[in-house]
Amino acid sequence: MAQPTISNSTDFIRDIIDEDIRTNKHAGRVATRFPPEPNGYIHIGHAKSVCLNFGLARQYQGTCNLRLDDTDPAGESMEFVESIIRDVHWLGFDWGEGRLFYASDYFERLYSFALEFIKTGNAYVCSLSPDEIREYRGTFTEPGKESPYRNRSVEENLSLFKRMRSGEFEDGAHVLRAKIDMAAPNIVMRDPIIYRIKREPHYRTETKWVIYPMYDFAHCLSDAMEGITHSICTLEFENNRPLYDWIVEKLIPANRPKQIEFARLSVSYTVLSKRRLIELVQKDYVNGWDDPRMPTVTGMRRRGYSPEAIRKFCAEIGVAKNDNLIDVALLEHCVRDDLNERAPRVMSVLRPLRVVIDNYPENRAEVFECQNHPQNPDMGIRQVPFSRVLYIERDDFMEDPPKKYHRLGPGREVRLRNAYVIKFESMVKDEQTGEVLEIHCAYDPQTRNAPPAGGRKVPGVIHWVSAEHGVPAEVRLYDRLFSIEDPESEEDFIPNLNPNSLEIVTNCYVEQSLKNAKPGSQYQFERLGYFCVDADTKAGKPVFNRVVPLRDSWTKIAEGK
């Protein structure tokens, strides 16, 4: 008797599996698979499927195969296979020993199944042209017409199909079709093509084959051969389920896998369709598959998203059959939630404004010990040098500040984070432009680790970097790739690209402790956001990606007034 499953998150798929286990279907076994085609990099939508399929296997102590669904040589490559393997592993899943499969490894067996189909009268070689096949298929409202080749003898079919394999014909000369019903209301069932001639080398089988099985034939049989119990796919395959069942029923009827369809993921302000992602890369709208603006797993990794955050997101969005458009804010929430716990805090100034502390001794340099995480002392402390000349954020000084602004301005005081309270004294302006070049302040020596005397309230706290000790850095600020919520719904999506999706800021200063930060490591730049050391980093010259900004209630206040 199978054990009941304990799970706090439930969905219709888990309900089905629970019921199958209850009735001891498949002897209570759960076997899933993740079946990407290696013709592109996997993205956040695939991650949803990865988490679902591998998560189910984990939850029900079953198995989940990784299967490369490589039945169409066009566009498939080993580069993509390797990226998929790397990305699934990085997401935190493993298929285990002997569970990495390729549909292309089944070509010979699939061919045998096709032969069997011909012999049992379930398939025939059709010699109509592609255009004719389309015409004969009929329309939504009109039934199709039977192909004149539909009743060829078994012998003729066998001979033709073998000759197809041996390379006697050009592309498109013949196809193998399942003999079902040209009048079926479901167009998928109108004698679907199951093999086509394609004289194109395959990245694994090279030139061994010139005929390739179609998805509808290869996928269900691959599932059945692997002993998959629950074949989970997206909604657009619902129409194909009768064909899936029809084929397996006739060739491998024992333990037929159950196809279950769920809604694919859509995320606002981005595109996930493979065709469009490829276009973004090929036409250089982005800098490759791992561009941090891309919704690919490799892009998100480079951006600084963690696998934990992505898994959390996939758990949060759930699984259902409704078409959806998930707010990218939920993804960002999951990323912040994860990084808030794990990212050490540091101080960095993106747009520096020079501040001179007039009453601070010229040659003095203090080193402050700063907490790496205010809520987690276990993360330790680091040393941050302080000196007479500092940089602060240009945004943190205003000559004529609005109400509610509690940073630096004429006549104002502000707390330097982890350091002293300083008071504005004067400023130096460019005579031509009026731009503020530098400001002079006085510090209050009593305020180190202490509130100012006399009960003065200093509401503002700003970050800073010692000019002498700061490390020059480049910071790349990312914004959403598209400027409209649902670019996928537009016929032409390119005009909706966000022209400001990348801003490169080159004259930043990060604190000394970041000088040799390792690529991939993540930090919170206090008051700014979460940042990740980019792979472009050179020794002593760090490059950071902004993973996601901190939530910012000030901008709302400032814009509202």
By CB under 7 A, the residues from 131 to 150 that bind RNA are: 133-134, 137, 139-141
Nearer to RNA, 47 or 291 (CB): 47
Q: How far is the CB of 493 from RNA (least distance, A)?
A: 14
- Residue 366 touches RNA, criterion: CB under 7 A: no
- Nearest distance from C-beta of residue 395 to RNA, angstroms: 9
**Stretch of residues binding RNA (CB under 7 A), selected from 43-51, 93-101, 127-135, 500-508:** 127-135
Report the site for RNA in 295-334 (rule: CB under 7 A).
Answer: 316-327, 329-330, 333
Q: Is 97 a catalytic residue?
A: no
Applying CB under 7 A, among 373, 394, 440, 515 the residue interacting with RNA is 373
Choices 398-406, 438-446, 471-479, 534-542; region in contact with RNA by CB under 7 A: 398-406
> Which one of the listed residues 29, 177, 258, 274 is annotated catalytic?
274
Residues 492-531 that bind RNA (CB under 7 A): 524, 526-527
Nearer to RNA, 216 or 474 (CB): 216
Asked if residue 521 lies in contact with residue 452, where contact means CB atoms within 8 angstroms, the answer is no
Please, what is the minimum distance in Å from the beta carbon of residue 525 to RNA? 8
- Note whether 468 binds RNA by CB under 7 A: no
Evaluate the CA torsion angle 14, 306, 81, 188 in order and state its sign.
Answer: positive
Q: Binding RNA by CB under 7 A: which of 374, 377, 380, 520?
A: 374
d(CA 549, CA 269): 16
Nearer of residues 212 and 291 to RNA, judged by Cβ: 212
Residue 407 near RNA by CB under 7 A: yes
First vs last Cα of the chain: how many Å apart? Answer: 66
Residues from 14 through 43 that contact RNA (CB under 7 A) = 15, 35, 37
Site for RNA in 207-246 (CB under 7 A): 212, 214-216, 218-219, 235-240
Of the ranges 24-32, 104-112, 196-204, 513-521, which one interacts with RNA (CB under 7 A)? 196-204
- Toward RNA, which CB reaches closer, 29 or 196? 196
Among positions 48, 311, 415, 546, the unique one binding RNA when judged by CB under 7 A: 415
State whether the Cα torsion 235-239-244-249 is positive or negative.
Answer: positive
Closest CA to 330 of 270, 262, 261: 270
DSSP 537: -
58 touches RNA by CB under 7 A = no
Rg from Cα positions in the chain: 31
449 binding RNA? (CB under 7 A): yes
What is the footprint of RNA within residues 416-435 (CB under 7 A)? 417-419
Beta carbon nearer to RNA, 10 or 500: 10
Q: Is 79 left (phi over 0), alpha (psi -120 to 50) or beta?
A: alpha
| Under rule CB under 7 A, residue 392 binds RNA | no
In angstroms, the CA 157 to CA 195 distance is 13
Choosing from 2, 182, 252, 550, the residue that interacts with RNA (CB under 7 A) is 550
Q: How many residues bind RNA (CB under 7 A)?
A: 90
Strands of the 471-478 sheet, one edge to the other = 345-346, 522-525, 529-533, 543-549, 471-478, 502-510, 348-349
Residue in 422, 370, 383 with CA at minimum distance from that of residue 526 = 370
Q: Give the nearest distance from C-beta 548 to RNA in angstroms.
A: 10
Q: Is 274 a catalytic residue?
A: yes
* Least distance between RNA and beta carbon 100 (Å): 16
Please provide the size of the chain in residues: 561
Name the residue among 39, 191, 31, 176 with its Cα closest to residue 104. Answer: 39
Interface with RNA, residue 479, by CB under 7 A:
no
Secondary structure class of 371 (helix, strand, coil): strand
Q: Are 320 and 263 in contact (CB under 8 A)?
A: yes
Which is nearest to 267 in space by CA: 470, 436, 487, 110? 487
Q: Name the one range near RNA by CB under 7 A: 53-61, 182-190, 250-258, 533-541.
A: 182-190
- C-alpha 48: how far from chain center: 9
Helix, strand and coil in the chain, % to nearest 5: 35, 25, 40
Q: Which one of 404, 429, 456, 541 is in contact with RNA (CB under 7 A)?
A: 404
Which of 145, 264, 394, 417 is catalytic? The answer is 264
Neighbours of 369 (CB within 10 A): 10
Q: What is the DSSP letter of 515?
A: T
**Which string of DSSP letters, residue by residue, matches 183-228?**
T-SSGGGSS-EEEEE----BTTTBTS-SEEE-HHHHHHHHHHHHT-
In the complex, the smallest distance separating the C-beta of residue 320 from RNA, rounded to whole angstroms, is: 4
Q: Is 276 a catalytic residue?
A: no
> Which C-beta is closer to RNA: that of 124 or that of 212?
212
**Distance of closest approach, residue 195 Cβ to RNA, in angstroms:** 8
* Cβ 371 vs Cβ 344: under 8 Å: no
Annotated active-site positions, please? 37, 264, 274
